[in-house]
Structure 1
Amino acid sequence: MTTCRTVGYRSAARGGSVGYVSTTRTTTSPVTRTLLPGLGLVAAGVAVSYLVNLALPPVSALTAAVLLGVVVGNLPILPATARPGLTWATRRLLRAGVVLLGLQLAVPQVLALGGGTLLAVVVTVAVTFLGTIALGRLLRLPRGLSLLVGTGFAICGASAIAAMEGVVDREEEDVASGVALVTIFGSVSMLVLPMLAGPLGLSDADYGRLAGMSVHEVAQVVAAASPLGAAAVTVAVVAKLSRVVLLAPMVAAVSLVERRRRPATEGKRPPLVPLFVLGFLGMVAVRSLGVLPGGVLDATKTLTTLLLAGALFGLGCGVRIGALVRTGPRALLLGLLSTLLVTGVAFAALRVIGG
């Protein structure tokens, strides 16, 4: 922040007349100084996460970021001065990243899948989300964790969890658990699903639809479809993006439910429709108009990953491993059952109403 100071001086040679000199100096506001340590740590965490992704492509930068954050947050090396910047980054970067995520979706591409496949996508997402919540209740897991796992497995992994965490009543450990489950079971699906294409009698296009409708992360979808060739990958990515389109209405619907669950006397209630959800929809509309050049879209895709990785690193730093371990076995069982659910429902839906 730049500030101007006017300094007065008295000249003895002129009989005590007063002159003025205007001096300008650059200072940093107290708020900025408070945030800098945490923001520097976030930048370092994002850089390391990208390196992990380059070395292990199936592990997305988002997954690496939250797991790295958990490690850093539980080591005695995290200074207290970093906390304000981490908190700021978690909230601000998260919403900005979700808004820009909309630029990865073009409605005409999604519509090209056909009405039957789109209906199968909607059915798969709805059944997976609601079924995962029900399974979490049976396993006596926290409601917040079940909601986040249901969102991540039904929509698009860590990005969906990041979008949903701001409107549900959850613990920091629930976010880390959800992302960890996406990593574990998305990787399992990525490896196992190609081996099922032959026994299930799937064509390349049909297999692409199944992979796009059932595997969790976009990177995992690409890896799962690659063994069957470029045609399968193309269909798989578009099918995956059709799930991402449902992120905004799902977050908005859950926000409405959360408002009803929390009386106004309990403090601030979730917004009717979060502003970042409206921003997400606006970016989808912009992308669908086809007015942005490819270079801009590539740059915003990278920026989106950077923003979400920074937010998830901040979330991970707030996680305590002790609390995470206490729900471990039941959370793993939820991840397994939810993965079987999304894969089974996707296959059945494509057989019955897809095509």
Structure 2
Amino acid sequence: MLLSFIAYLIAMIPAIKSIGISPLIIGIIIGIIYAHTLKHKTPIRWSSGVIFSAKRVLRIAIIFFGFNLSFQLIISVGMAGLVASILVLASTFIIGIVLGQRVFGLDRDSSILIASGSSVCGAAAVLATESVLKSEAYKTAMAVGTVVIFGTLAMFIYPLLMKSGILHLSDTGYGIYAGSSIHEVAQVVAAGSAVNHHAEVVSVTVKMIRVMMIAPLLIIVGLVIAYQAKRVIGKASASSNNAKVKLVIPWFAVGFIVVAGFNSFNLLPQSLVSGILHIDQFMLTMAMTALGIETHISKFKQAGLKPALLSLILFIWLIFGGLLITHLSLMVF
């Protein structure tokens, strides 16, 4: 909270405010600086508050971010946003698995974890997929580390590409592009807010469509694993080892939709909604600051070279392939 408050004060400086730097971005920068300077000198019990902010506070903030939205706006995103989300997710997931296992020689679980984190929603997707795979803890940590690093880079690169005019996209087009191709929900919020409010709202709307796709993705992963198990152990023993797939649906995605639906009826005074959104932005800043505190160069070392290279290639695909898919979706729909 203290670091986020400092980020807010910095964002209010006229020179900073004039160039549109969001407190969310300032928060993660402060967090990264803190992680590499003072973190080792602070009580270890503080880490529980950092983790709480990066996970619980973020998800609560995303729920209340639904007050920025309405079903009318979701409809305005249209088929282009939906199609872009599906195509980017599917292509990234397939590329990740194929390259991971056949090119880099990674094991199945590591490839799937990295692919799911890059294609769906970063660390949350990695953790959800791990619940199906039941993989070793170090593989989960490795996948989370790589997607957090490259997702953080995307958060800074995308606004720069937009403001430089390289993308040739409208604010809505940029929102579709960012929402369908940036890793974490919080990173999408930051990348959208760095351009303008409309881009932020569209990008989060598209991103939440992507997040909700984790449910069918986990079902598919579970079915494929069950099919592979049958082939390995044979039909006779497969019946006794065919465990049920545990489906993990992000509760904050459901809450986000409920709040957006409630907001569509305009039942609350605009002044109250505005106050909620101010509090919500501070909570998002807390989450981003916590994400910065958890981002350390050592995570690259823990991941090793091959997983990092796979994540890098997927990151490059998300930038260029995501842009191509966005342009094609806007042209067709």
What TM-score, normalized by structure 1, do the two folds share? 0.63
- What one-letter code is carried by the residue in structure 2 that aligns with 1:93? V
Take 1:279 and 1:66, find their aligned partners in 2: how far apart are those partners? 25
User: Is the partner of 2:268 in helix, strand or coil?
Assistant: coil
Aligned to 2:34: 72
- What one-letter code is carried by the residue in structure 1 that aligns with 2:267? V
CA contact under 8 A between 2:155 and 2:191: conserved in structure 1?
A: no
Aligned to 1:210: 173
Aligned to 1:167: 128
Alignment of structure 1 residues 47-126 onto 2, 5 Å: 47-51=5-9, 53-54=11-12, 55=16, 60-75=22-37, 76-112=40-76, 118-126=78-86
Q: Which has the larger strand fraction?
A: 1
- What one-letter code is carried by the residue in structure 1 that aligns with 2:280? T
| CA deviation map 1:168-226 (0-9, x unaligned) | 4342524531431322431343134x3564xxxxxxxx7344323213545645766x8
- What one-letter code is carried by the residue in structure 1 that aligns with 2:119? G
Matched, 1:293 2:269: yes
Runs of 5+ consecutive residues of structure 1 not aligned to the other structure: 1-42, 152-159, 198-205, 227-232
User: In the TM superposition, what is the alpha-carbon distance from 1:279 to its structure 2 partner?
Assistant: 1.8
Take 1:122 and 1:324, find their aligned partners in 2: how far apart are those partners? 33
Take 1:177 and 1:52, find their aligned partners in 2: how far apart are those partners? 24
User: Is the partner of 1:213 in helix, strand or coil?
Assistant: helix
User: Is the partner of 2:255 in helix, strand or coil?
Assistant: helix
CA contact under 8 A between 1:73 and 1:320: conserved in structure 2?
A: yes
User: Is the partner of 1:246 in helix, strand or coil?
Assistant: helix
- What one-letter code is carried by the residue in structure 1 that aligns with 2:5? A
- CA change 1:48–1:256 in 2 (3 A) is farther
Matched, 1:150 2:119: yes
User: In the TM superposition, what is the alpha-carbon distance from 1:258 to its structure 2 partner?
Assistant: 6.9
- What one-letter code is carried by the residue in structure 2 that aligns with 1:339? I
- CA change 1:60–1:254 in 2 (3 A) is farther
Aligned to 1:24: none
- CA change 1:96–1:222 in 2 (3 A) is closer
Matched, 1:133 2:93: yes
User: In the TM superposition, what is the alpha-carbon distance from 1:286 to its structure 2 partner?
Assistant: 0.8
Matched residue count: 278
Aligned to 1:46: 4
Question: Sequence identity, in percent?
Answer: 17
Take 1:211 and 1:163, find their aligned partners in 2: how far apart are those partners? 23
Which one has more relative contact order, counting CA pairs under 8 Å at least 6 apart? 2
CA contact under 8 A between 1:62 and 1:312: conserved in structure 2?
A: yes
- CA change 1:214–1:177 in 2 (3 A) is same
- What one-letter code is carried by the residue in structure 2 that aligns with 1:324? F
Match of 2:326 among 346, 349, 353: 346
- What one-letter code is carried by the residue in structure 1 that aligns with 2:117? L
What TM-score, normalized by structure 2, do the two folds share? 0.67
